[in-house]
Amino acid sequence: MNAWSTARRIAGLFVSVAALIAHSPVQAQFPLASVEQACERIGARLASVGTQMCMEADLRSGDIGSHRGMPLLYRDYPPGSSRQTPFRVMLIGGIHGDELSSVSIVFQWMRKLQAERLQPFHWRVIPSLNPDGLLQARASRVNARGVDLNRNFATPDWDADALNYWKRVTRSDARRYPGPRALSEPEARFLVQQIEAFDPDAIISVHAPFGILDYDGPLEPPQRFGYLRLQPLGIYPGSLGNYAGMALKLPTITLELPHAGIMPSASQSQRVWADMLRWLESNLPKSDTPLFERLDDPSWLIR
């Protein structure tokens, strides 16, 4: 493990431990469901996935569940190539529960990863970070406690700006409520712990429905993946792009599919996937620069 990787692990530990010590966790309302029960519910909600595809994905349950007791599922796909130190890529779907296509396409790509034995990366895939939002009677952007998970991460500006930004800029839009404090939500804490444990070289988060490509982080951004062209959306207090891309200096790619309820065609999905793999292969050089030397202000990590 190089110095950059080691320092990033240490920094991630400071972030998660500081937040978890400062704030007592929110307890789930219900006992944690099994993977089989989760797949039955996901399959019933997403016809493009179905229970069988979900079960065949051989997902594991994390230690943290959602507020309503749904397991937060993930799966590792080791590289098929002989590279001694493969790049690690984290793929996330369904941060917003009403963006159904973002979950469906991740399941589709998981099937591809299972079949592509020679792919060069080590993947950790989280197909649905917000199962409570996905599985509500009417799918919801926010989680069961009404929090936008993509505004709940512990960014350096969260304490000073998150709630003020929500009130002033969004006019207290309920769909964008950042929560009472950073990492107040079990789903956000789960993802931070996954980032700490997996130590990814890049993060890919799938959303909808803007139909563009967004990027945050230290490298030159990709210009297009298939029919998705680069159009920066900016960063927000508590967003994953702000937390992982800007604060932790991890290349963070956001894929915004054009429709929340309609899947891309097979050819569109394949072009996005192929362009993404090419960009990752060409643009993820290892760095020996420790994380603390790459951050403008590392003090926020140990608050």
**Quick one: pLDDT band at residue 93, thresholds 50, 70, 90?**
very high
* pLDDT single digits (tens) 52-79: 999 999 999 988 899 999 999 999 999 8
The CATH superfamily label for domain 3-295 reads: Zn peptidases (3.40.630.10)
Beta bridge partners of 71: 65
> Strands 252-256, 202-207: parallel, antiparallel or unpaired by DSSP?
parallel
Contact 97, 46 (CB under 8 A): no
Could you tell me the pLDDT band of residue 134, with boundaries at 50, 70 and 90? very high
Residues 6+ apart with CB under 8 A from 139: 45, 97, 98, 100, 133
pLDDT in tens, 189-213: 999 999 999 999 999 999 999 999 9
pLDDT band at 4 (very low <50, low <70, confident <90, very high): very low
Model confidence band, residue 80 (pLDDT cutoffs 50, 70, 90): confident
Q: What is the pLDDT of residue 81?
A: 65
The predicted structure's pLDDT at residue 285? 72
pLDDT on residue 296: 55
* pLDDT tens digit sequence for 139-159: 999 999 999 999 999 999 999
Rounded mean pLDDT, 115-125: 89
Q: Please, which pLDDT band fits residue 82 given cuts at 50, 70 and 90? A: low
What pLDDT score was predicted for residue 297? 53
Neighbours of 203 (CB within 10 A): 27
The closest alpha carbon to 106, from 205, 219, 234, 191, belongs to 205
Task: Please report the sign of the dihedral spanned by the C-alpha atoms of residue 55, residue 61, residue 65, residue 69.
Answer: positive
Residue 8 binned pLDDT confidence (cut-offs 50, 70, 90): low
One-letter amino acid of 214: D
pLDDT band at 31 (very low <50, low <70, confident <90, very high): confident
284-303: pLDDT as tens digits: 875 544 444 545 554 444 33
Tell me: the pLDDT tens digits for 176-187? 999 999 999 999
Q: Kind and range of the H or E element at 212? A: strand 212-216
Q: What is the pLDDT of residue 156?
A: 95
**What are the domain boundaries of the chain?**
3-295
The pLDDT-based confidence of 117 (bands split at 50, 70, 90) is confident
Give 231-277 pLDDT, tens digit per residue.
999 889 999 999 999 999 999 999 999 999 999 999 999 999 999 99
Residue among 241, 202, 210 at smallest CA distance from 228: 210
**Cα–chain center distance at 298:** 23
Q: Mean of the per-residue pLDDT values for the chain?
A: 88
Q: Tokens 């712990």 label which residue?
A: 193
pTM of the predicted structure, to 2 decimals: 0.88
Asked if residues 276 and 257 have their Cβ atoms less than 8 Å apart, the reply is: no
Average pLDDT over residues 104-121: 92
